[in-house]
Amino acid sequence: MNLLMCPVCRQALVLKDKTWRCASHHSYDVAKQGYVNLHVVQHKHSKNPGDTPESVQARRAFLSAGFYAPLQQAVVKLIRELCIENLLDIGCGEGYYTDAMQAEVLQCVGVDIAKNAVQVAAKLNKNVTWVVGTGAVLPVVDASINLCTSLFSPIPEQEILRVLKDQGYLMVVTPATEHLYAMREALFEEVNPHEPAKFVEQLSLHFDLVQEHVIDAPMLLQQQDLKHLIAMTPYAYKAKPELRQALEQKQQFELNAQFQIYLFQKKA
């Protein structure tokens, strides 16, 4: 089944000879790296939206070293238990989680607004349909998706409701209360615990919470891994430069990553 939707006229897209086309003759070529760009100019708010190339490369280096593997494994296990046909990963970034999730489904679409991130992701796994696109208009046809995933990404609720099948699922992964607390203490004068439960309240009108899990990933980071972690987070530009530099000079740093996984089901 073709899942992609034309972002201009909202009709289904069909792939033929490395070009996606709709009935209205809008066409989108598959790039040589293996992704398609469905982020049309009328939906753009900046020239190069999303993560910077530096952030993408830092994330790729850090994640490929396996520090967040406990989260990746927990997400994959949950998807396996659902026994579903397809999923849409919203904000797939450079593809670390999407790549692992794809093995559990027949069809997998990864979408991100950052073109440079999708270019990196497309080299990982040719069985994922990689798309440059925006959550404001998810480039997927109505009522076609079994599971939407949003890992540390925006949650465009109305668009998710549109693309999900009846009683489809939404998986949200967000920082748990103590996520990277030691690092934040080093970077900021005042540190507040994360508040993951806010998503349960925000989504309660249209979704039932069916599962929740907290995953811990204790780490002892060497200096280069610590630099990669800082660079891939928003803390890189939110922290005072002198505090960031002081932390980056540490040869080793011990901290705990803590993730909150919520699985929701669309209300009937």
R_g of the chain, CA atoms, integer Å? 19
Does any domain span residue 53?
Answer: yes
Residue 151 structure tokens: 């890992």
Residue 193 structure tokens: 């615990």
pLDDT for position 1: 80
Does any domain span residue 9?
Answer: no
25 assigned binding-site residue: no
Does any domain span residue 102?
Answer: yes
Convert 16-48 to b/e letters by CB count within 10 Å (16 or more is b).
eeeebbbeeebebebbeebbbbbbbeebeeeee
26 assigned binding-site residue: yes
Does any domain span residue 206?
Answer: yes
pLDDT digits (tens, 9 = 90+) for 102-134: 999 999 999 999 999 999 999 999 999 999 999
108 assigned binding-site residue: no
pLDDT digits (tens, 9 = 90+) for 23-48: 999 999 999 999 999 998 755 455 55
22 assigned binding-site residue: yes
Identify the CATH number of the domain in which residue 99 sits.
3.40.50.150
Report pTM: 0.95
9 assigned binding-site residue: yes
pLDDT digits (tens, 9 = 90+) for 47-88: 555 678 889 999 999 999 999 999 999 999 999 999 999 999
Total number of domains constituting the chain: 1
What range does the domain containing 177 cover? 45-266
**Of 62, 50, 90, 48, residue with least CA distance to 232:** 62
Q: What are φ and ψ of residue 205, in 5° steps?
A: -70, -40
pLDDT for position 53: 85
Does any domain span residue 167?
Answer: yes
Does any domain span residue 36?
Answer: no
Does any domain span residue 261?
Answer: yes
Does any domain span residue 108?
Answer: yes
